[in-house]
Structure formats: C-alpha cells, structure tokens
A = this chain, B = another copy of it.
Amino acid sequence: SGLKALSGYRFIKNELMRRLREQQYLAGATIPGEVELAAEFGVARATVNRALRELSEDGILERKRHSGTKVATLRTRHAKLEIPLIRTEIESSGATYGYNLVAREERSAPDWLIKRLALSELQKLLYLQCLHSASGQPHILECRWINLKTVPQALSADFENNNPNEWLVNQMPFTTAEFSFSAECLSRKDAKHLNAKAGEASFIAERITWLESNSVTFAKMAFRPGYKMLTRI
C-alpha cells in the first residue's frame, strides 16, 4: 500500500538509499561510477548523474571531480530552513498579524555594530524597535538598524504603518543574508514589551543583510518565551 512506482532518477535515488541503509555500500567507500550505474539500471548517464548530484546535495554522498563518488563519512545533516516573513508565519498559524512601532531614531552605530556591518565609523543609522503580535499577543520584539548609506530612502519611509522587513524586501528584493540563532534572558524592558517576565529565556534570531558587499540592515528578533522554530530533514 505504501509502495510507489518510482521511475527514473527518483527510483535510482531510492535504490541507492536502500543499498546504503543495508550497508551494501559502506561508509567512506567509493561507489560505482556513473557509466556503470547507468548500464546497471538501463538508463542514460544523465539520469544517474541527477540522482547522484541530488544525493550529494543532501550530504549523503561526496563527489570529487575526477576521482569518484564516495559514501559520506561523519555525515552532517543538511536541514533546509525556510525563513518566512513574520506576517506569513503568524497568519499561517491562524492568528491575526499585528504590528506597531515602539521607537524610531537616527543614531550613530555602536562599536559592535560597526564591525558587523563593515561601516565607516562616522556613519548614521536608522534605529527602529517594533513589536509583532499574533492575535493581540506580543510575539516578537524586533530591534533593527538600517544602513542609510545603502538605503537612504529609509529615512522618509513610514514605519509607523509598515513593518521594516517587508518594506526592505520591497525596496531591495534580492539581497543575501547571514543568520544566527541563540538564547538570551529578557531584560525588564524587553520583557514588558513581550508581556513576559524579566529573566525569562527568549529565542533570538539575528540577521545581517547585504546587497553585494554593502550592508543593508541588522535585525535582532526576540521571540516570546516558549517559541520553537521547527524544521525537518
């Protein structure tokens, strides 16, 4: 009943996974080449190639250009993390998304931020603090710094009514980003915003966004205590 009649590259991926599970190919060993597998399965080499390429993207095989394909040792798990817009995440859980601006100020960057955003020291940034809520319950407290050299139009944007992440995504849709995740105890002030107790643990997500080699923004999101970020391999 659970059987699927896979064909083509999916079938080959499946079959190779079976052989791996059954230790027919051992960890670290070189498996047969594309030509050999193509002959064995009676398919074109391109089909085997796709199967092998995808398995190596999943971290299960390791391919080397002119040497061969090996079973990965010390397999690191590759999880695909989807980082949705906050609005999307909240609405897809069935709640109503709410937003409001807590603070807005032009400030010069603190030392730690100068390094992380590769700023010249004199630069002014736009500092925002915003609260995202789910059906009225505070959900995320966001501290954001926007590089006015890269995004000067931020100065005149209306962040009372527009969440800075969505505004930035519209202004510059194709940036790259670095993320970090950690945990912090809430300060008394932050706890108040999140309707939590001072000292409670908050899941922290930080993001630095780049346009080519120019920093765009630094954002630190403090999630309501109890929040879990989920993923699946």
Q: Tell me if A233 and B179 are in contact (CB < 8 A).
A: yes
CB < 8 Å: which of B59, B88, B201, B223 contacts A76? B88
A140 vs chain B, min Cβ distance (A): 13
Q: How many copies make up the complex?
A: 2
Give the residues in chain B near A60, CB-CB below 8 Å: 174
A3 vs chain B, min Cβ distance (A): 13
Contact pattern, A 77-96, Cβ under 8 Å of B = 1, otherwise 0: 11111111100100000000
A159 vs chain B, min Cβ distance (A): 19
Q: Tell me if A183 and B203 are in contact (CB < 8 A).
A: yes
What is the size, in residues, of chain A's interface with B at 8 Å between Cβ atoms?
48
The answer to the question of A74 belonging to the interface, with a C-beta cut-off of 8 Å to chain B, is yes
CB < 8 Å: which of B173, B176, B230 contacts A233? B176
Q: Contacts A183-B201, A185-B199, A203-B183: A178 and B78 contacting too (C-beta < 8 A)?
A: no
A80 vs chain B, min Cβ distance (A): 6
State A80–B225 Cα separation when bound (angstroms).
25
State A220–B183 Cα separation when bound (angstroms).
15
Of chain B, the residue at the smallest CB distance from A23 is: B173
Q: Contacts A173-B27, A180-B230, A183-B225: A83 and B88 contacting too (C-beta < 8 A)?
A: no
In addition to A76-B85, A81-B81, A183-B183, 13 A-B residue pairs with Cβ atoms within 8 Å of each other are: A75-B169, A77-B83, A77-B177, A177-B232, A178-B231, A179-B231, A180-B231, A181-B181, A182-B229, A183-B201, A184-B201, A199-B199, A201-B202
State the A residues within 8 Å of B (CB).
Answer: 17, 20-21, 27, 59-60, 74-85, 88, 169, 173-174, 176-185, 199-204, 223, 225-233
